[in-house]
Structure 1
């Protein structure tokens, strides 16, 4: 899909470089300043929150220190008064196991000091109160709990409350149940007292009673609570003191927080906010942000107070605490905005001054783009790092290169024109020669076809002769093999004749020995006389037989000798025939090899003639193609002349300096 120029290049890409530089600098400056502003805002916020945290914790620490001073002072006073109370009593009371009437409680275990029962005796208590201003009391364990054995407390009618029962959930009752002494602060009927409790034990170390002293410190505590109510934390925060509610669930106000003493936290805030605060107050100390319905985004700091079972709480609206830091941040933002505008103006002025030469260069580039290569470009300093100088130098180099190129093109047009004319004439001459060569190749191709047919026939005859010679060679080989067998048979006959001659020689020897034996037998028979006559006849016959055997053996030997000589002569003839057959076989093999070579050569010659014939045919085809190419080259030469004309017209657009103008060639003028 084709994209239009307006879509491919946006609005910014079509603006001037100075405007784009200004916009880029402005964007970068805004981004940098924005980042710095964000960092400053975050740092200002964190710093402000840290400052509020420190101020709130410092305020809580100051109040906690004051409370601890009050507690320490009251505790010290209570501890100092207990020995004086024991001196007035005359010692520490003990139980004797007896029951004594004791006011409202009736009979309860008695407590004695130096043998005197102190149950119901208020005189030592009154003396102690007179001297110290403190309220003492003596407590004893009754059958239903702890009762006041002696006290200066009065009812509405002014009667002493001797024998009055102490509620089991009262702080004093719980302390005595634990069996541990106590010195600290307690609240009675809305007033604060410093109380000291001394537990009394029986012989089994079981709590049986106690001595108590309480000192009125309500004035000191109330002044401290009023101060807590009035104090401001960091000009915007307030303080409050909380304690566990009477039911042990949740928190109740002691002072501050805009609530009356004893007001539950759940009554001061709605359920969701009180739940959030209660969750925070599970930790002994801390600082956090809480989104409260009444005050919105609120800073909350808290700290548990030792010895008081109180919780110090400081709260304040986050927006008011951070208002000063936000005002400082606004001033910083305003300063940065002014800086951005100043930077943008400075960048605009610098970019306009810096890019002014670029406009001159653009004007020169427009003229060069229109073909005017005669424009004068300024010289630039050598080895300059100024981008504008580099661009001017590059443009000047491009102008010189383009001028040289145009001059070279015009000269080349002349040469191309002359060359195209020569090519056209050469193509005409080449076309006629190519046609003559094509006719000669056709005649050569016809002669090669005849020669190929003759050579092919010779190759076939050579192949047939080669087959006949091969058959003769096989027959000669078989004849040679037969002669070899005959030679072998003659050798065997000669060997058998020699063996027969040997046997005849043995028979001849036996006949000779038999004759000797017959002679010996005849001699012995003659010696024997008449007794040996019969034996002599036999010996004569044997001798006659031996002579005939010897004669027969001689004849056989003579015949065998003739046979052996003839067999030997026949063997020699057969060997000569075998040698002749071998010579014949060798000659036949040589003829076979020669015929094979002749046949192979004829085949190769036929193949070569075929290849030559194919080459001639291909040459004829190439010649025909060359003729077509010559025609195409002629057409191309004509087209080249047309292109030379167009090129000359295109180059004529460029305007060169006077020193670079060359005369157009006559051929080009003729084309135009």
Structure 2
């Protein structure tokens, strides 16, 4: 085959004549920027703000404080109840002890008198003999008076006084078989209190008299004064009627203070009055009450042998004084526990977070290209999540070291080889340049032919790229059409639902219209009935008038009939008035029904228009759905056509490549030597350029490796 000048040129290396082709250079900007940003400060700031240890200490401390507070309140409540319970026991014990002391004191006084009842002179019931023995006992035993009571009520005292005792006086109970009798007497005129005890004188197993001793009654107040609970507490004694007979404030005794009587006129005494009543009823126990604005507790116990009650009083503040100390102890213990738990949590959190922080710092160093340090072995040996993190970081460090070592060795070999290749290619390029100059004119035509073929290949490739983009656009359109189809289908479902609702609404409106029409007919019937009533009323009224006329003609005999006729006339007038009222109501009802009928007609028309609009919308949605299905088919056809065009593009590229190969073969056949020289020149230049690129790449790799701290 004959070859033209345009076919002479490149043979196997159509692009190697561009000896100055640019090579891509390695970009270190992003690496430098990243390395600059990860200098370890970010981790420290994060740790400072959101430390797990700080959070752990905070949350545990809050939990402990909350728990301690709740437990403290519970403990305080329990302790308060316990303190009150124990204090009540103590108060009750103190009251019983005080009552026992009072009983023993009275018993001692009584015993000192009982011993004389067995003396013969006393049993003789001769006052002269009795006086002789008893007069010396008065001063010896500390009595104010001693005397003998006779069955007739005569009481003879050693001082010479004689008084008559009333038969109903309590002291006379000694003759009824009582082993002793104790009475308390207050003389308000002279301001004295007398405590009187009587013991029987038995003769031949009969009570023939009694020795009566009198002593100052303030001994009861003295006993009460020392029986209080704490510094502010006090004691007092009441008799069977609730009257105070012993009190640190002796005025209460002299004034015969009785809270039960005082409460009748003074409401502030009600609490104390209730307490006294409870003491009289239950005899023994502990109660709380309010007196003069103070909250008080009272323990009380009976004094055996009397109807008296010994009362021990304590203020609430003193009673609960130990509660304050208990609160202080609980607060101190809670604070100590919280402090201990915070310290424990601190050390626990430190041991828990320290390896995490060190592992995070190790990862930070890896991120900043520092792999010179290994992970601490004690963390690598852990069998938990921290150990897994440490092993993973160590694995990264080891792998990076291996990769960097291999890259470093390869870059050094690459740099040496590229230098040798550069020197050889330079020598070869000089020789090939001389050969290339001699055959350059012959190869010019073949180069043009190859260039045109190459341009055709480029254009075919551009066409292929455009076809690919068209296929992508078609795919996007297909996806969009699918979405639109979904929306249309959803719209059809909503339209169908709306259509059904509209039909139901129309049916309901028609039903309402029918009910209104029936109501209108009913109102018409009511109107007709009202007219009948009105007619009957008129006839009744006329009948009443005629009856009145006939009754008037009948005279006295028709008077009763005239009254009946009058009542019938009134009834007719009432019927007429009611008929008129019914007519007005029926007319108003008919007017309202007419308005309702018009409104229902408008609503019916609107409902029909709405139904038609729904049907039209449904038809339009159906048309859109049909159009979208056609669009989808068209898109599918376009996509198929795109595939066909893509296949045709590949065939065109193959044809152009075959043409290029044929042109090269023609150029080779025409001028083998020129082609060979040109190829060698281009190859040498390409090798030289590649060698320079390799050298630059090797330097870049070495710089990159140098940035790692191994």
TM-score (norm 1): 0.42
- Give the structure with higher Rg (CA): 1
Higher helix share: 2
TM-score (norm 2): 0.40
Higher strand share: 1
More RCO (CA 8 Å, sep 6+): 2
